[in-house]
Amino acid sequence: MNLPVSERCQAEHLDLAALARRLNITLREQLGRHAWRGHKPSGAAVVLLTGARAEYSIHDLLNTLPKLHPPFAFPRIIAAEPGFFLIYSFIDGAPLSSRDFETEESLAAAFELSGRLTALFRSLNLASMFQGLVEGSELPQNTPSGAAQRLAFLGSRLDQQSDSLAIRRQEASLSYSWARQLPSWCASRWLAADTCPTGLWSALQARVEAVTSIHLPPQGSNLAHTNFTPKHLLVCPPDRWGIVGWQVASRPYNYMRYKYLAWCLVHTEQANIIDRYRRFLALMPAIQYSAAASLTFALCLLETWVEASEPLHHRSEKLAALYAFVEEGMTAIPLHSNVPYT
């Protein structure tokens, strides 16, 4: 959800060149839909973010990260008008997507990095910034019902309690809400040429509405970097990682690792997809709940397939693999979790 900006900002946002002139930046290269690399008069390389990438929650998060001393490079804000633009120093590094992102070394590094991010999110002081962070999802955040209410009100009323357990309950509820809305969001954007198995969307909808276990992490937070893909992981010299494209929202347990693998499957240029990705899944660090695996991976695959905008190699083989993993995600775990949420 983007925050409103002034009429002046809206008018100027329509003219990127005017914005760059006002900020005294010479634009050099478009890095993404809302990101440009440029230079200041001093010659310093900077990145200009606009629109959704410059919202207040991202500004607050990036300003908080230096206090936590994360073991990776991240955008350090130079100037900002939250809700309109952010400027940060350019991070010297190559996107992992430009290299072989499927090697065991790359997978191990991504899995370890996601674990460090999860630990960092547990360290955030969410009391003042929680609401802004969890409202950044692209999917609409409708009021949850049914199982979502059970997740949100497990023994406590949120309007009367502001401790960490209450926050975790609300995170779980928002994660459930995302999963509950994903099937219809994907179905409305699915290409007719990518013919779905009969009854896929209705069966998946029933499954995500019934399953709650994937939203109950054994400890910590549901917060995740929702752009945790090789496009936003930088290989920085001499031997360091960088993370960009920051968007944070509540997601199922272990979402970032499955999002990374889903992106790799959708964008790989190699064949023999199902066998290779079963092997990659086996390389993932052991997790406490087996229930967190198959359905979360299925949701990440569907989301990533819809997000892909470029032509895909081995499209028919990838689609067959996607449907196979989605089918496993709908049948491999119990409908309800009996794990106590403490």
CATH code, 28 = 3.30.200
Asked if residue 268 belongs to a domain, the reply is: yes
Q: Give me the domain span that covers residue 211.
A: 96-331
- How far is the C-alpha of 225 from the C-alpha of 72, rounded, in Å? 14
* Mode of pairing for the β-strands spanning 248-250 and 223-225: antiparallel
Asked if residue 337 belongs to a domain, the reply is: no
- How far is the C-alpha of 338 from the C-alpha of 318, rounded, in Å? 35
Residues 109 and 255 in one domain: yes
Q: Give residue 73's pLDDT.
A: 96
Q: Give residue 12's pLDDT.
A: 43
Q: Give residue 127's pLDDT.
A: 36
Residues 66 and 100 in one domain: no
Domain boundary among 52, 70, 91: 91
Q: Give residue 310's pLDDT.
A: 81
Domain boundary among 60, 91, 122: 91
Number of domains into which the chain is organized: 2
DSSP 88-145: EEPP--EEGGGS-TTSHHHHHHHHHHHHHHHHHHHHS-HHHHHHHHHT--SS--PPP-
Q: Give residue 216's pLDDT.
A: 87
Closest CA to 213 of 159, 244, 166, 176: 176
Q: Give residue 5's pLDDT.
A: 40
Residues 111 and 168 in one domain: yes
Residues 139 and 70 in one domain: no
Q: Give residue 333's pLDDT.
A: 53
Domain boundary among 71, 91, 111: 91
Residues 29 and 178 in one domain: no
The residue length of the chain stands at 342
| Beta-carbon contacts of residue 182 (< 8 Å; ≥ 6 apart) | 139, 208, 299, 302, 303
Residues 304 and 172 in one domain: yes
Strands of the chain, DSSP E = 26-32, 35-39, 45-50, 77-81, 85-89, 94-95, 223-225, 233-236, 240-243, 248-250
Closest CA to 106 of 278, 287, 303, 280: 280
The pair of structure tokens assigned to 206 is: 């029933």
Asked if residue 313 belongs to a domain, the reply is: yes
The crossing angle, in degrees rounded to 10, of helices 273-283 and 315-331 is 50
Residues 274 and 313 in one domain: yes
Residues 84 and 108 in one domain: no
Residues 160 and 245 in one domain: yes
Residues 56 and 171 in one domain: no
- How far is the C-alpha of 143 from the C-alpha of 141, rounded, in Å? 7
Residues 136 and 232 in one domain: yes
Q: Could you tell me the mean pLDDT of each successive run of 10 residues in the chain, 342 residues long?
A: 39 71 94 91 94 85 90 95 93 95 96 93 60 49 51 44 73 96 96 92 95 85 95 94 95 95 97 95 74 84 94 94 95 50 30
DSSP 234: E
Residue indicated by tokens 């930046």:
25
- How far is the C-alpha of 209 from the C-alpha of 202, rounded, in Å? 11
Asked if residue 170 belongs to a domain, the reply is: yes
Asked if residue 336 belongs to a domain, the reply is: no
Asked if residue 292 belongs to a domain, the reply is: yes
DSSP 238: T
